[in-house]
Structure 1
């Protein structure tokens, strides 16, 4: 049975994504994203399921920084529907709640709701962890934003459900493992790469042009500071296809000489459409 690390407490959306991808797995909750990566790198778990972007709030910057430094490979992808609940201790009424605790991404996804209800948004490290904290501290003027599953696990009361500002709310997760061999391609794969460009005019344009020449569809491009040299960036690109496919191999070979750094994070089967 697979051991799968995730960030957060039981009931977190990361746990739900892990169970969706690995039904019946032994789940290993970790305090931070870094701890989840380390659990796999240190062979305390075989996989980690890590959120990389949300359809409303965008990319998880900390995770992208970790992807640049990890030895792990991306071997899978899963989309998790996010439906937020306002969760409080039993007996607490909506009018009692002055503060809402949750992960910053969840708070951002419920920004308009919280403003309408005149509740102060208070960041915490995890959605389900916020529910656990509100319960353990017996807070009567605060609630947490998390999943229905978290409310049920901790025996808490749901004051409101579906409070996200946009109902088409999904989080995309990558499945990370120490796998070295790329799985065989069957035409339904995506590949993730990381690169930095040389400081010459048109460098990024030239690199992206190679994907256009190969008719490779880019599904995402993200830039993050390298953290080493001011105003230098790593670019994170996802494209449709497998790194072992002829068109992808040709494009990757062509851009290698145009980059100062290139890392193929992995090829993996595309998640089913949300």
Structure 2
């Protein structure tokens, strides 16, 4: 808790106490209160008790240890790509993906008083997404670990002219003055979150479903091409395929993938069987409803 600025620590303590009383209602998120992940929890499950955690590992451990029911983790952003390295985090946690949620990202300029801002503290991605606004207004960007933490620090220091870029929720929590909302350079900015739980949940087959998994192909020529062939021949839509290097040898490449459908669907079962034949291992992370359609159904 000491890693947070003082105004955030008070809120973190209150939220931890509330979650400890009813862990079955708690959903963890990474960051300070007021972060986009906090906002995502509130919009996804208004009845939940948001539980802030300093790191992604802390957020997953709280669920694994029963101190919270679920975790909400951002895994990709429409402008900046990968957020959390799920291929490292999930297998070690033993948790399962049970749902997904998409949050439009909006940035607000805020400070302790009405003095015109001359600097703006925020996460490097938020600063980059507001680059044109900052240049146009002569505001100097300063990198900080996260958006809501920057807002909490500005509220603690209360230096005239020092501002933060964070969600509007942070201004409300830390009693900051809002100078301008929606200062992002592009409105097409969305973050995809996944919801993680200790036990898997089978989604309804009456609506479009996603399945996420990890795999490592065998170290033979054209292994990836052969492993992917089963999805094409069986008409299974793969919406995401991302590679990762584990270790320093660069000899073992692992992959994260999202497909439409789930085990039990004949086409998916055939595709996964062919994938397993050409892979050293395949690890299913979970099947869950699509929060947004990936292709046309009908």
Residues 57-136 of structure 1: matches in 2 within 5 Å? Answer: 57-94=80-117, 97-98=118-119, 100-136=120-156
Contact 1:56 1:166 in 2 (8 A): no
Between stretches 243-252 and 58-67, larger displacement belongs to: 58-67
Alpha-carbon deviations, 1:44-91, whole Å to 9, x = none? Answer: 111000000111111114445313433100000000111111111112
> Would you say the 8 A contact 2:217–2:279 is kept in 1?
yes
Aligned-partner Cα distance in 1 for 2:293–2:165 = 26
RMSD (Å), alpha carbons: 2.0
Instruction: Quote the offset at 1:261 in angstroms.
Output: 2.5
With CA pairs under 8 Å and 6+ residues apart, which has the higher RCO, 1 or 2? 1
The structural deviation recorded for 1:144 is 1.3
Structure 1 residues 77 and 152: CA distance shift in structure 2, 3 A: same
Aligned counterparts of 1:232 and 1:37: Cα–Cα separation in 2: 26
Q: Secondary structure at the match of 1:101?
A: strand
**1:18-69 residue CA offsets vs partner (Å, 9 max, x unmatched):** 1222121111111111110111111111100000011111111444531343
Per-residue CA shift, 1:159-202, capped at 9, x if unaligned?
22212221011110000001145334224110111111111111
Deviates more, 1:43-52 or 1:113-122: 113-122
Of 201, 206, 214 in structure 1, the residue corresponding to residue 221 of structure 2 is 201
TM-score (norm 2): 0.84
Aligned to 1:19: 42
- Structure 1 window deviating more from structure 2 (133-142 vs 145-154): it is 133-142
**2:257 pairs with 1:257:** no
For 2:255 and 2:55, locate their aligned partners in 1 and report how far apart those are by CA, in whole Å: 24
CA distance in 2, matches of 1:164, 1:63: 27
Per-residue CA deviation, residues 136-163 of structure 1 (Å, 9 max, x unaligned), is: 1223242211111111121111222212
1:162 to 153, 157, 182: 182
Unaligned runs of at least 5 residues, structure 2: 1-23
Q: Which structure 1 segments of 5+ residues have no match? A: none
Deviation, structure 1 residue 104: 2.9
CA displacement at 1:234 relative to structure 2: 1.6
Residue of structure 1 in register with 2:68 after alignment: 45
Quickly say closer, same or farther: Cα 1:64–1:129, change in 2 above 3 A: farther
Distance 1:114 1:67 in 2: 37
Alignment match, 2:246:
226
Map of 1:269 onto structure 2 = 289
Residues 228, 237 of structure 1: alpha-carbon distance in 2 compared, 3 angstrom cutoff:
same
Change (3 A) 1:253 1:80: same
Aligned twin of 1:9: 32
* Alpha-carbon separation, structure 1, partners of 2:104 and 2:218: 39
Structure 2: how far apart are the matches of 1:46 and 1:143?
35
Between 1:22-31 and 1:122-131, the stretch displaced more is 122-131
Alignment partners' CA distance in 1, 2:211 and 2:245: 21
